[in-house]
Structure 1
């Protein structure tokens, strides 16, 4: 039992340490003077998503590779290798070096923090789903490529929602404020979010953020969401043919949403980087939209990192054990 507890806490300490170090490197990459203005917003969103999920992927890959030899020996898939390096701590269920105070504290804090943040995320997701369901029960649905749920009442909604059941929530009062062309632009923007699967991407980024410090997790999520908003603005301009119309819709919706409640956790039209987006809409040249490849790119990157880690599992296992022995 002690061996299993020590193994769990050591793995938690490794995941937390690698996640923090990797997130600091990614934060440095965000601060480099990349020629971002020359890239389409969709490409910047893809890059922000891959970078934002990379610390979690690296942390999981390192832990998986470091724990693989021990787990393989327990399952009888390989021989017990611990006898060949008895000069330092073992990251092993079979031959635990016992609970080391420093590692036990770091691992326990990391594990408790992860569980707390994961529970908070689940609670926010469930609360948002309940609020959306309550609003939708009061409204009526209009069929389309993505259904539009017309919602009565106080919330000034123009939101893309849903990971599986993708739809747009639209307040009836918003239709009264926006001109016909402005409403078309706002709906085209939200449809672009759903085609890009931005609600799913935001959820995955929030999950990946559990492996990095909260301030950095917010930076990574904000970078993706801002670029995704700009990418959807591009598609809205292409739909209505005039950036000024989309800009006016953004300003009107931002004013409405400042004076009214919104649904927490749901991307809102007109909420993020308003001044920057309006300036780009008024001054920027219309460029063809680009499809989102964020999920595919991140999946390929994650598979590559995990494969590389498992191929070099013996090296990573030994390196992690040496580091744990040195710092404990």
Structure 2
């Protein structure tokens, strides 16, 4: 009974912290949709990624700090802290406590929603990997810094793939439909996705979104995806020396892709996402190419949250127990 109560209390704590952080940073996410960072899409993408992972980082750090004292007591590294405060909820699996019905219900609901959403993320990743693997098995690799896999058949596809081993899937039908300049523009865009590690960042953002409010997680993913596409457009324009060339290739590929289904799923692909806005940015040469720092910034935030939680485990444990007592 104590173990079940502990699990439900941890699930409720993680969900409540994730929701609270989501609400606190939502105004910052809304600000990213404005015109203030229009000219620096790479920075906008970085900020969207950091905001999207913040609920998960804070939630995991707080829960880890809150469960550290009972874990330390269980392995004999610390004294039993529960004996000193019997006046509120115990976040502990060592002692059988009365499970408050509302707290148990919140924890059970949060755990069920988390598992359901996690299953959806896993299913989407598996489906995407299956589609890409099927295409790659038919293709012929071409060597390079980012290998190109030439795929035969009808799909109009120019797609960056690989969480670790980056490569570009290019359909023969699309390659034949584009001029050499248009093809270089499309490939420059996809190479920018791989340099930025957008496939990996998209996966991490999806996993981190499991700890955030669902609407907030979807909004972060949408802002990140659009900003990442604009950032790659800007890098491609810098590589080609003319944003108009990239805009022309983008419009042509988008028109070709409308005739067939989107094979690549939600992963980065040269195509029609936010087409009008991206073409306007390219033609006006407003967006500037810049380096992505999302992984470094998120890593620094994670390190800071971890160090703070480690240094204040007793305080955070007591604060979480007090908050649960007051709420439930």
TM-score range, shorter chain: over 0.9
1:112-165 CA deviation, whole Å, 9 max, x = no partner? 111111112111111111111111111111111111111122321111000122
Matched, 1:212 2:198: no
Structure 1 residue ranges without an equivalent (≥5): none
1:284 aligned partner: 285
Match of 2:78, SS state, is coil
TM-score computed with the length of structure 2 as normaliser: 0.95
The alignment status of 1:326 with 2:326, answered yes or no, reads yes
Q: Matched residue of 1:36: which SS?
A: coil
Q: Partner of 1:273 in structure 2? A: 274
1:214 Cα deviation (Å)? 2.3
- Between the aligned partners of 1:279 and 1:170, the Cα distance in structure 2 is 26
* TM-score, normalisation: structure 1: 0.95
The answer to whether structure 1 residue 16 and structure 2 residue 7 are counterparts is no
Alignment match, 2:29: 30
Match of 2:223 in 1: 223
Deviation at 1:98, TM superposition (A): 2.7
Is 1:26–1:52's contact at 8 Å kept on the other side of the alignment? no
Q: Over aligned residues, Cα RMSD in angstroms?
A: 1.5
Q: Secondary structure at 2:37's aligned position in 1?
A: helix
Aligned to 1:117: 117
8 Å Cα contact 2:139/2:152 also seen in 1: yes
- Aligned residue runs from structure 1 range 1-328, under 5 A: 2-32=1-31, 36-37=36-37, 40-262=40-262, 263-285=264-286, 287=288, 289-328=289-328
> Cα distance, 1:48 vs. partner?
1.3
Instruction: Tell me if structure 2 keeps the 8 A contact 1:150–1:170.
Output: yes
The count of aligned residue pairs is 326
C-alpha distance in 1 between matches for 2:35 and 2:230: 16
Structure 1 distance, partners of 2:251, 2:35, is 28
Q: SS at 2:90's partner residue? A: coil
8 A contact 1:160–1:191 mirrored in 2: yes
2:149 counterpart SS class = strand
Q: Deviations over 1:235-276 (max 9, x none)?
A: 101111111110111111112222211221321212322111
For 2:322, what is the secondary structure of its paired residue? helix
1:200-247 residue CA offsets vs partner (Å, 9 max, x unmatched): 000000000111232221111111111111111111011111111101
Following superposition, the deviation at residue 27 of structure 1 comes to: 1.4
